[in-house]
């Protein structure tokens, strides 16, 4: 069956050209020299990426109507919220491998660049499979419900990807060293070409993204099966992932209820997929439910963090009386 998409070849070429231009501008101009990304810089870039996504959304709305516009926005919100779960893992990877802050942007840049290609392949394969085998939508729905329940049950468990099968396999197969060589992914020691910790971190970032894509891409299929909308909403969320990492990495502990919200989103979109032939959920309703679940979990997390901070202040002992040494 032929794939149907609102994206013409010219629109596809224009979007891909825009993405490549922004990546070249990012690495070649704004991050030409390695430096630690500070909160203010991350905030500015996050605002830029979100603004670009919303402007693109307005263009979709104006050109193709409200339905595709709401579908893009819902898909973008799903991807953006699920990408925060990636950040939890990235923080652990960088901490475990002791990646200096000055090189973290470089690792994320190349990791996300490869993720763009991998996700494009997964999206087109997924859309083609759904077009050819409609019953797969029930499989995807059941998988998302299972993943959501599993995420909820394991919400308090810490991930340790640096000790997982991928890292153990890489250390056996890829000659590596624990020493850094500036911003290089490979170095030479005694005439041997060895992978530095930066390359190991890059590999874990890429594997993590593929694993999370197995959840997030089927989740967008619950909203739309238009390959252009699925691809563009995915790409905009990924492009903003680096700045989002530096924006929230220092306070991931405060998002204590986020995984509860994410698990609820996965269960909701999974049920929506599984019941697609029996219950029609309007795109606007899906957007409202997902925004409420994510917004509610973030708000509850900050309220809990504020309550804990206030309780800790109350537990601090009051200063004792001042003792004068004056006779």
Q: Is residue 7, in this structure, part of any structural domain at all?
A: no
Write out the H or E segment, with its range, that includes residue 6: none
CB atoms within 10 A of CB 13: 11
pLDDT-derived band at 320 (thresholds 50, 70, 90) equals low
pLDDT given for residue 206 in this prediction? 83
Cα end-to-end span (Å), the chain? 97
Q: Is residue 191, in this structure, part of any structural domain at all?
A: yes
Q: At residue 49, what are phi and psi to the nearest 5 degrees?
A: -65, -40
Q: Is residue 33, in this structure, part of any structural domain at all?
A: no
What percentage of the chain has pLDDT greater than the value 70?
A: 86
- Please give the DSSP secondary-structure letter assigned to residue 33: S
Q: Is residue 322, in this structure, part of any structural domain at all?
A: no
CA distance 148 to 259: 9
Q: Is residue 317, in this structure, part of any structural domain at all?
A: no
Q: At residue 191, what are phi and psi to the nearest 5 degrees?
A: 80, 0
Q: Is residue 265, in this structure, part of any structural domain at all?
A: yes
With a CB cutoff of 8 Å and minimum separation 6, the contacts of 79 are 216, 220, 233, 234, 236, 237, 238
Helix (H, G, I), strand (E, B) or coil at 186: strand
286 vs 58, residue with greater confidence: 58
pLDDT-derived band at 319 (thresholds 50, 70, 90) equals low
Region 261-289: mean pLDDT is 84
Neighbouring C-alpha atoms within 13 Å toward the C-beta of 100: 12
**Tens digits of residue pLDDT in 122-159:** 888 887 787 788 788 888 888 888 888 888 888 777 66
Residues 137 and 131 sit within 8 Å (Cβ to Cβ): no
pLDDT given for residue 1 in this prediction? 40
Q: Is residue 312, in this structure, part of any structural domain at all?
A: no
pLDDT-derived band at 287 (thresholds 50, 70, 90) equals confident
Q: 59 is in which domain, residue-wise?
A: 39-306
- Please give the DSSP secondary-structure letter assigned to residue 250: G
pLDDT given for residue 53 in this prediction? 94
User: Into how many domains does the chain fold?
Assistant: 1
* Residue appearing with tokens 């390695």: 34
- Which residues on neighbouring strands pair with residue 176, listed in sequence order? 195
Q: Is residue 135, in this structure, part of any structural domain at all?
A: yes
């Amino acid at each position: 069956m032929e794939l149907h998409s609102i994206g013409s070849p010219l629109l596809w070429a224009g979007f891909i050209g825009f993405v490549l231009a922004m990546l070249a501008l990012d690495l070649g101009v704004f991050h030409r020299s390695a430096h630690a990304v500070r909160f203010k810089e991350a905030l500015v870039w996050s605002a830029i990426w979100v603004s670009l996504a919303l402007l693109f959304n307005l263009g979709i709305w104006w050109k193709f109507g409200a339905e595709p516009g709401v579908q893009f926005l819902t898909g973008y919100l799903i991807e953006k919220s699920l990408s925060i779960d990636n950040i939890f893992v990235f923080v652990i990877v960088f901490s475990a491998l002791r990646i200096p802050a000055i090189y973290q942007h470089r690792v994320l840049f190349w990791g996300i660049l490869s993720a763009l290609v991998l996700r494009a392949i997964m999206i087109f394969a997924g859309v083609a499979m759904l077009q050819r085998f409609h019953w797969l939508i029930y499989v995807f729905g059941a998988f998302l419900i299972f993943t959501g329940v599993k995420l909820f049950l394991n919400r308090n468990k810490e991930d340790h990807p640096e000790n997982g099968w991928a890292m153990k396999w890489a250390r056996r197969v890829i000659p590596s060293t624990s020493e850094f060589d500036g911003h290089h992914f490979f170095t030479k020691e005694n005439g041997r070409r060895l992978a530095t910790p930066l390359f190991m971190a890059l590999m874990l970032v890429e594997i993590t993204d593929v694993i999370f894509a197995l959840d997030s891409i089927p989740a967008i299929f619950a909203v739309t099966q238009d390959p252009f909308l699925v691809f563009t909403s995915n790409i905009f969320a990924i492009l903003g992932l680096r700045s989002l990492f530096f924006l929230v990495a220092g306070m991931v502990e405060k998002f204590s209820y986020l995984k509860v919200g994410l698990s609820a989103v996965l269960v909701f979109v999974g049920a929506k997929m599984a019941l697609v032939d029996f219950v029609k959920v309007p795109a606007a309703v899906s957007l409202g439910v997902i925004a409420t679940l994510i917004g509610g979990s973030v708000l509850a997390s900050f309220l809990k963090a504020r309550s804990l901070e206030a309780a800790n202040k109350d537990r601090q002992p009051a200063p004792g009386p001042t003792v004068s040494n004056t006779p």
